[in-house]
Structure 1
């Protein structure tokens, strides 16, 4: 039996981003942009958090989402955040701030979200795991789990 055409499969990257955006909103973040694109690259999610007092206390998060299925080759997407990728994200963030100068003085950080995509039929052993995901969603025959959210990830990636 042959595999179904590629169009049969959901775009797991976009569905992983949807999960992360929903989770960020549930924790008080405002989603400013999804898939912000410029000549330097793309930022999956740009979010803003206000502490409720004054706008000078707002924080911007440029979020890179890595969604992977079982058997991935790059440690769940962590190894894909290379120095070259970080540079592209940095330049793209600079372009965003140039387009929105009113946000240029906000504290900024680069976060990474690690999402797993598992076929529901194969997910029984994963559900018995002691590691509970931060968020999860079911789409078609797949479960998406936000496994890890790394705040200020570029500071912690060696």
Structure 2
């Protein structure tokens, strides 16, 4: 069997996560972890949002004014078989994310009382004809990142994506 060609899918996925992390930080979120993993799976981004109004008046933020988001990032190019990554988030994948989030909360019990949600970010990746030597992040709608010969755009950010 011939050896398959070298793939850069992991790099593209990392670039998509970079874009989403930069956008989250730009919109006021604090990135707690990237690629948090345990034996049950991996969570691409774990972020926390603090209500700045209440945090400014209190020395420690009240957990009721914060949100903890476990973010799954799907980066795809045009014509992907899974609707830009939406079909890849199966019930089995959701179960792995729940188990990994439970492990995270066990590791960081001070976060266990925070309201939690599972978000999904859909990122579109397009190969550029010229290589970019520098990174260009554009936070305006839609947020985009041009780097390493790719242009990535955050097409959709779905908060609380697993809620019925």
The question of a shared fold, defined as TM-score above 0.5 by the shorter chain, is answered with yes
- Confirm or deny: 8 A CA contact 1:65 1:115 kept in the other structure: yes
Partner secondary structure for residue 155 of structure 1: coil
Write the distance in 2 (CA, Å) between the matches of 1:74 and 1:51: 36
Please list every run of 5 or more consecutive structure 1 residues that lacks an aligned counterpart in the other structure: 122-131
Q: Alignment length, in residue pairs? A: 142
2:143 corresponds to 1:150 = no
Q: What's the CA shift for 1:64?
A: 0.1
- Confirm or deny: 8 A CA contact 1:35 1:42 kept in the other structure: yes
TM-score (norm 1): 0.85
Residues 72, 9 of structure 1: alpha-carbon distance in 2 compared, 3 angstrom cutoff: closer
2:116 corresponds to 1:108 = yes
Give matches, 1:6-155, under 5 Å. 6=6, 11-52=11-52, 53=54, 54-56=61-63, 57-121=65-129, 133-155=141-163
Q: What's the CA shift for 1:120?
A: 2.2
Please list every run of 5 or more consecutive structure 2 residues that lacks an aligned counterpart in the other structure: 55-60, 130-139
Q: Which has the higher helix share?
A: 1
After TM superposition, the runs of 4+ consecutive aligned structure 1 residues lying more than 2 A away are 5-10
Write the distance in 2 (CA, Å) between the matches of 1:7 and 1:155: 34
Write the distance in 2 (CA, Å) between the matches of 1:85 and 1:148: 19
Write the distance in 2 (CA, Å) between the matches of 1:85 and 1:45: 15
Q: What's the CA shift for 1:140?
A: 2.0
Write the distance in 2 (CA, Å) between the matches of 1:147 and 1:9: 18
